[in-house]
Structure 1
Amino acid sequence: MAGFPGGTAVSIVTVYDWPTVDGQAGGSPHLHTASTEGYVVTGGTGAVETLSGDGYERRDLARGTVLWFTPGTVHRLVNGSGDLQLVVVMSNAGIPEAGDAVFTFPEHVLDDPAAYAAAATAPAAPGLTDEERGTATRTRRDLAVEGYLALRERVEREGPDAMKPLWDRAARIVADRTEDWRKLWADGPKAQADATGDHLDALARAESAHLCDAHVGSAGDAAGRWGMCGRLETWDLRPH
């Protein structure tokens, strides 16, 4: 099996402590269109606010909290103590990095492909200093919070059906990316699941060839960058 177990991606997130319009500090609300995301909180306290088929929910986070959410769940990390840190485990390594996430920008931005692309990718513009990337990340966060707060109000007033327009917009935004994602899925989590099936078949025949190929993998040093929810330490865990 190549790649990290389960074809997953792992990162360490130090959640932003920048306050926003409603007085809460944290990251950019967004959803994933194809991947499930899991949290393992390692330090600090805070909360995650979600909008899903279950409506609006807020869950406290503290060291040892483990939770996860499926595609389509809007999530917003809130840094309560100023030092909230967590390990994030994402399914489908490579797909989230290839544009699986959709920000909760205001509707007029979501409906304008050029405006959406400009707002979503601003922190990655070439030639920016690290400080300028941080400023662009904060501007993107504030725009996502603006759309999120309006959406949360509609969900609290109308119920989960108010999510449908966002889900429709998200599907349109990512529709032309799915062929590239399919190869990442086939080479990663699907290949690992298929390999497990082959191993079980071999073990049922008392054959040990795959055990003789045992080895240890290492990801090397982490790369730091400005993420959606906080400063990230990431590794490339995909098969090479």
Structure 2
Amino acid sequence: MGGFPGGTAVSLISVYDWPTADGQMGGTPHLHTASTEGYVVTAGTGAVETLSSGGYQRSDLERGTVLWFTPGTVHRLINISGDLQLVVVMQNAGIPEAGDAVFTFPEAVLDDPEAYAAAATAPAAPDLTETERGEAARARRDLSIEGYLALRERVESQGASAMKPLWDKAGHIVAERTEAWRRLWADGPKAQADATGAHLDALAKADAAHLCDAHVSNAGDAQFKWGMCGRLETWDLRP
């Protein structure tokens, strides 16, 4: 089996302390269309606001908090102490990096494919300095906060049904990416699950031949990035 256990991705995130339009500090609201995401809080205090089939919810975060949420859950990290840090465990390594996330931009941007693509990818534009990438990440965050605050108000007044237009738009935004995602899934999480099944079949016959392939892997040095919710340390953990 190759890749990190379970075909997951792992990153360290120092949540942005940039102030937002509603007076809080934190990251960029978004959802994932195919992957469950988990948090393990390692330092600081904060909160995560979520919009899901259960409506609006705010969960406190402190060292030792472990929580996760399924695809379609809009999540917004809030940095209360100024030094909130998390380990993020993401299902389906490679798929989130290949465009699984959809931002909560204002509806006019969500409805314009060119405007959406430009806003979503701005921090990755070529020839930007690190300072310019940070500025682009903050501008993207602010645009997503604008749409998020309006969406949260609708969910609080109308219930979870107010989420459906965003979920429908998200499906259209990512539809053309799924063939590439399918290959990543087949080579990662599915391959690991299939290998475990084969190992269990073998062990049931007292056949431990696969243990002869025991080895240790090291991901090497982390890459530092301007993420959606904070400064990231990431590793390529795929096979």
Q: CA RMSD in A?
A: 0.3
Q: Which residue of 1 aligns with 2:200?
A: 200
Q: Which residue of 1 aligns with 2:60?
A: 60
Q: Which residue of 2 aligns with 1:82?
A: 82
Q: Which residue of 2 aligns with 1:4?
A: 4
Q: Distance in 2 between matches of 1:185 and 1:147?
A: 31
Q: Distance in 2 between matches of 1:84 and 1:211?
A: 40
Q: Which residue of 1 aligns with 2:182?
A: 182
Are 1:70 and 2:66 an aligned pair?
Answer: no
Q: Distance in 2 between matches of 1:156 and 1:20?
A: 20
Deviations 1:51-77 (A, max 9, x none): 000000000000000000000000000
Q: Distance in 1 between matches of 2:183 and 2:105?
A: 29
Are 1:124 and 2:120 an aligned pair?
Answer: no
What SS does the aligned partner of 2:12 have?
strand
Deviations 1:102-147 (A, max 9, x none): 0000000001000000000000000000000000000000000000
Are 1:223 and 2:223 an aligned pair?
Answer: yes
Structure 1 runs (4+) deviating above 3 angstroms are none
Deviation at 1:43, TM superposition (A): 0.1
Q: Which residue of 1 aligns with 2:163?
A: 163
Q: Distance in 1 between matches of 2:53 and 2:217?
A: 39
Q: Distance in 2 between matches of 1:20 and 1:84?
A: 16
Deviation at 1:212, TM superposition (A): 0.7
What SS does the aligned partner of 2:14 have?
strand
What SS does the aligned partner of 2:102 have?
strand
Are 1:18 and 2:45 an aligned pair?
Answer: no
Deviations 1:190-231 (A, max 9, x none): 000000000000000000110011000110000000000000
Amino acid in structure 2 at the alignment position of 1:128: L
Q: Which residue of 1 aligns with 2:96?
A: 96
What SS does the aligned partner of 1:210 have?
helix
Deviation at 1:10, TM superposition (A): 0.1
Identity, % of aligned positions? 81
5+ residue gaps in structure 1? none
Aligned length: 239
